[in-house]
Each structure stands twice: as structure tokens, then as C-alpha cells.
Amino acid sequence: MRAVVIIPTLNARSLLAEALESIESQTVPASVVVVDNASTDDTAEMLAKRFPQVTVVGNSRNLGFGRAVNRGVQAATEVDVIVLVNNDTVCAPDFVERMLEPFADPNVGMVAGVLLQGAAPGLVDSAGIELDTTLRSWDMLWNQPIDALAWAGQPVGPCGGAAAYRAAAFAELGGFDERFFAYWEDVDLALRFGLAGWGCARASGARALHRHGATLGAASPVQRRLEAYGRAYVLAKYRVGGSGFLTRLKIAALDWPVLAVHLLVRREIGPLRARAAGRRRGRAAGPLRAPLELATVGFLEALGRQAALLRLRAQGTLPEHFRDTEPTTGSSG
């Protein structure tokens, strides 16, 4: 099975070099495409000198994550599987091999790898995406020990930082929706794969260390705006609120307390404006059916998870990479 590994990047030369070194030592061959979102840190020179075998797609400006991946896919030829990894990951030597194995099942269109926390490799950062009954996404097994993989169910889709897609299905579905800049594009693609009848499997043995948010800042103002936009876009595109008054109440209970914190505590109007923009663009892009049957997280459980995150934040015990930060290098998408 022929695979291509696609890595979008922006001003993260050292991180990218580590990621590429880990791909070089894989147990199965894979071509590599790096999509450079107009880096200014000599990324192009580093790639030409140290990784001449890598195909480089250079953008004249930062196109974000999904657009960059789509252009990387266009540059790839004769591939069966598209593998995505972030530029802030270091993959185990058998990562690609393990990601390809589930595609032996013809019903599998997506595969989720396992991202481990860079500062705490014994803890999971993401084992794929799961959804609650409002189509809000959650990183499966986040902050849980690796042993939890043994009993976890299958995700709805992969996190874009460690993902694989059947190339023919990716093309048929049009790839990533380019109305996203970053965040939620992997959720949207998983929903479209699911609506088209494709399943997702987790490759529990495909593991990579992830320095979460090393390029954008996992809890930066930019991230908060993009998160608010993406959530609203998905809600509008899939007409989730149209599922009934109770669903709308659940959305309000989950989303508006967070937006209130942004406005009243952080004094940020940006997330509210981004949410309004996401709603407008989502309504223009839709309508698609809201596949609420894909939800595996109940509403009360979702509330509990949100409360636990707020409690960790209030106690100052969130993992370091989830605390309020500014970008250190720049966004790859």
C-alpha cells in the first residue's frame, strides 16, 4: 500500500527537522511532502540541504492547515493512503506501518494514530476524535495513561495531527473544507466521511510524541478565535440546532459559559466575532444532515469534562501546553 506523509509547516524549522528525521527511519517506505506556509526562518534552505528527497510545496502566504494539506495531496502521485502528521510531532519508527494496517478492512476510510504528550509521554494527548450530542469534539483519552487504549472504543475520526485517509475517498469528498483556517477541519472531514459510509479505526500501536500547540499556542488568543469560528461553522453547516429545542439548550449550556469567560475574564471580543463569522459561513456552506448518531459522549459527560477542565485551570494544574500562551514560532495552520 503506497503512502504519502504530508506535513504543513510555518516557521518551525527545528521542530520540522525532528519530525522529518523520525519519518526517515520508518519501517515501511513512504514519500514525504512538506507544505511550507511562507516560512521566514530559512525552512526552505534547511529542507534543500538536509532533506533533498522531500517534495516541498511553497506557498506565498500562510494558507492554514486544511488548504496546505490539500495542496500537498495535489503534489502527491500514485498513493493509496494519505498520512498527516504535525510539524511538532516525533513519530515512532513503526508509526506509518501501523497506520496502514487497518486499511486492510475495505470499510475503513480513516485511521487515527495516538499522540502522546511531549512533556509526559506516558499520557495520551489524543487517540482520535469523539463527539458529544451537540457534535462538539473531544480528544479521545486526553490526559489518560497509555494503558487506557486497551479498553477504549473506536473514534469517530482522527485528529489531524496523526491521521490517515484512504486517498480515493479523500479525493471524492473534496478533501478538507478550505473555509477553515485551522481547528475543526478534521472534525468536519470525519463527519463527511461518516455520512458517506466510511468507518474509522484507531491504530493503537501508531504513536507519536506531540508538543501540543508548539507553533500556535494551545491556549492563545488566536487559537481561541479559530476554535470559536470552527465550532460555529460546524454547528451551522450541519444544522445541529435544527435537531430540536433540547439540542439548542445543550449547545448553549456547553458553549456560552466558555464564551462568557473569554469576554468577561479575558476581555476578548474576538471569539464572539469569530463565532458570528463561523455561523454565517457555515450556513452558506450547508446544509448537511447532523449525524448525531455518531455521538459517543453523552451531554452530562460532556458537562463533566468541561467542568474538570475548568477545575484544572483554576487549580493551575493543567498540562503546561494547555495553559494560556502566545505562539512561540507561528502557525502551520
Last residue of a domain, one of 150, 180, 210: 210
pLDDT on residue 319: 63
Chain centroid, CA 312 distance in Å: 23
How large a percentage of the chain has pLDDT more than 90? 85
The enclosing domain of 196 has a CATH number of 3.90.550.10
Looking at the fold, whether 204 and 68 belong to one and the same domain comes out as yes
Any domain includes 332: no
Looking at the fold, whether 295 and 275 belong to one and the same domain comes out as yes
Any domain includes 330: no
CB count within 10 Å of CB 218 equals 19
Looking at the fold, whether 61 and 167 belong to one and the same domain comes out as yes
Each residue of 201-225: pLDDT tens digit? 999 999 999 986 555 545 689 999 9
Looking at the fold, whether 98 and 173 belong to one and the same domain comes out as yes
Torsion of CA 75, 93, 110, 237, to 10 degrees: -70
Last residue of a domain, one of 210, 230, 248: 210
Looking at the fold, whether 202 and 235 belong to one and the same domain comes out as no
Any domain includes 55: yes
pLDDT at residue 252 greater than cutoff 90: yes
Each residue of 101-155: pLDDT tens digit? 999 999 999 999 999 999 999 999 999 999 999 999 999 999 999 999 999 999 9
Any domain includes 267: yes
The model's pTM is 0.92
| Model confidence band, residue 318 (pLDDT cutoffs 50, 70, 90) | low
| Model confidence band, residue 331 (pLDDT cutoffs 50, 70, 90) | very low
Conformational region of residue 105, where left means phi above 0, alpha means psi within -120 to 50, and beta covers everything else = beta
Any domain includes 216: no
Looking at the fold, whether 206 and 254 belong to one and the same domain comes out as no
| Model confidence band, residue 187 (pLDDT cutoffs 50, 70, 90) | very high
Give the C-alpha separation, 179 to 63, whole Å. 11
Cβ(209)–Cβ(318) below 8 Å: no
Q: Which residue from 146, 21, 6, 4 is spatially nearest to 93, judged by alpha carbons? A: 21
Q: What is the mean pLDDT of residues 93-99?
A: 98
Number of separate domains in the chain:
2
Looking at the fold, whether 160 and 225 belong to one and the same domain comes out as no
Give the C-alpha separation, 17 to 46, whole Å. 8
Any domain includes 331: no
pLDDT on residue 220: 84
Looking at the fold, whether 16 and 54 belong to one and the same domain comes out as yes
Cβ(69)–Cβ(6) below 8 Å: yes
The tally of CA atoms less than 13 A away on the side-chain side of residue 6 is: 29
Looking at the fold, whether 131 and 177 belong to one and the same domain comes out as yes
pLDDT at residue 82 greater than cutoff 80: yes
| Model confidence band, residue 320 (pLDDT cutoffs 50, 70, 90) | low
Last residue of a domain, one of 182, 210, 238: 210
Looking at the fold, whether 178 and 256 belong to one and the same domain comes out as no
Q: Which residues contact 322 (CB under 8 A, 6 or more apart)?
A: 212, 213, 218, 219
Q: Give the domain extent around 40.
A: 3-210
Any domain includes 21: yes
Degrees, nearest 5: CA angle 139-224-260: 105
How large a percentage of the chain has pLDDT more than 70? 92
Q: In the chain, helix, strand, coil percent, each to 5? A: 45, 20, 35
pLDDT at residue 197 greater than cutoff 70: yes
Which letter does DSSP use for residue 319 in this model? -
Mean confidence (pLDDT) of the chain: 92
Stronger pLDDT, 47 or 261, i.e. the higher one: 47
Any domain includes 333: no
Looking at the fold, whether 169 and 47 belong to one and the same domain comes out as yes
Give the C-alpha separation, 138 to 84, whole Å. 19
pLDDT on residue 310: 78
Looking at the fold, whether 277 and 139 belong to one and the same domain comes out as no
pLDDT on residue 61: 96
